[in-house]
Amino acid sequence: MTQDELKQAVAQAAADYVAKHAPAGSIIGVGTGSTANFFIDALAALKDRIKGTVASSEATRKRLEGHGIAVFDLNDVTDMPIYVDGADEIDAGLNMIKGGGGALTREKIVAAVAGTFVCICDASKLVDTMGKFPLPVEVIPMARAQVARELAKLGGTPVLREGFVTDNGNLILDVKGLAITDPKGLEARINQITGVVTSGLFAVRPANVLLLGTSEGVRTIL
Ligand code: 5RP
C-alpha cells in the first residue's frame, strides 16, 4: 500500500470510530495535515449525524466548509467527545511531536477541550524515541532570537521555518537534534521559556487512541 492509501485507511477508521463512539449531535474536533484532510473527506458522510466541528487551522476550516460541514468557534463549545488529528512522530506512550504543518498551537488548544484524542498515522510515524523529526516551537516574532538561544541550551539546534507565519501571526523554530527521553519534562521546560507560545510536544495531553495504518491493516493501540 502507498503512504496515501495507509492514511486513507486510518482516516476511514477514525470516521468509523466517531460513528460508533460519539453521541448523535456531537461536535468533533478536527486536526490539520494530509491525514486529517482524508479524515475530513470521510467525515463528510457523517455530516447529518454530527452537529458540527471545531477546526484546528484555517486550512481545515476551509476544507470542512467545502464539504458543507458546520464549523463552530471553540469559545462556544463546552463538550467535544472526540478530537482526531495526525502526528509527525508518536511513541508507545502515545506522546507525540506535532506541528509539521505549523498548526500546533490551535491543535493543542482544541485537543485540550476534547474527551478523547484519536491520533491517525501511517506506521512510519511510530518511533521508540521521538526527536528525529525536528520539534516545532511556535514563538512570538520579537522573541525569536532569545528563544533560539534558550532552545540551544537544551541541546537542540533551532532553525527558523523560512517564509512561514502561523494562523496566529507567529513564527516557527524547528529544533533538530533532540533525543526526547522525557517528553513531559521537556514540554514543561520549553513552555516556560519566555516568548514561546507552544511546543509541538504533546505529552502532558497525549493521545488516548492510536489508529495506525500498516500494510496488514489498521491497528488500534490504546
Ligand atoms: C500539523 C500537524 C500534523 O498533524 C502533522 O504534521 C502530520 O501531518 P501529515 O498527516 O500531513 O503527515 O501536526 O500541524
Q: Which three cell numbers stand for residue 25?
A: 449531535
209 pLDDT higher than 90: yes
Which residue has the CA at smallest separation from atom 4 of ligand 1?
A: 86
Strands, sheet with 209-214, edge to edge from the N-terminal-most edge strand:
52-55, 27-30, 80-85, 114-122, 209-214, 217-221
pLDDT number for residue 70: 96
pLDDT number for residue 155: 93
Cβ–Cβ < 8 Å for 27, 57: no
Q: Is the Cβ atom of 101 under 6 angstroms away from ligand 1?
A: yes
For 2-54, write each residue's pLDDT tens digit.
989 999 999 999 999 999 999 999 999 999 999 999 999 999 999 999 999 99
Q: Is the Cβ atom of 103 under 6 angstroms away from ligand 1?
A: yes
Q: Quick one: what percent of the chain has pLDDT higher than 90?
A: 97
Which residue has the CA at smallest separation from atom 10 of ligand 1?
A: 35
User: Ligand 1 centre and the CA of 50: distance in Å?
Assistant: 24
Q: How far is CA 106 from the centre of its chain?
A: 9
Write the single-letter amino acid at 6: L
Stretch 125-149: mean pLDDT: 97
Q: Mapping DSSP to helix (H, G, I), strand (E, B) and coil, where does residue 23 land? A: coil
pLDDT number for residue 215: 87
Indicate the average pLDDT of the chain.
Answer: 96
pLDDT number for residue 131: 95
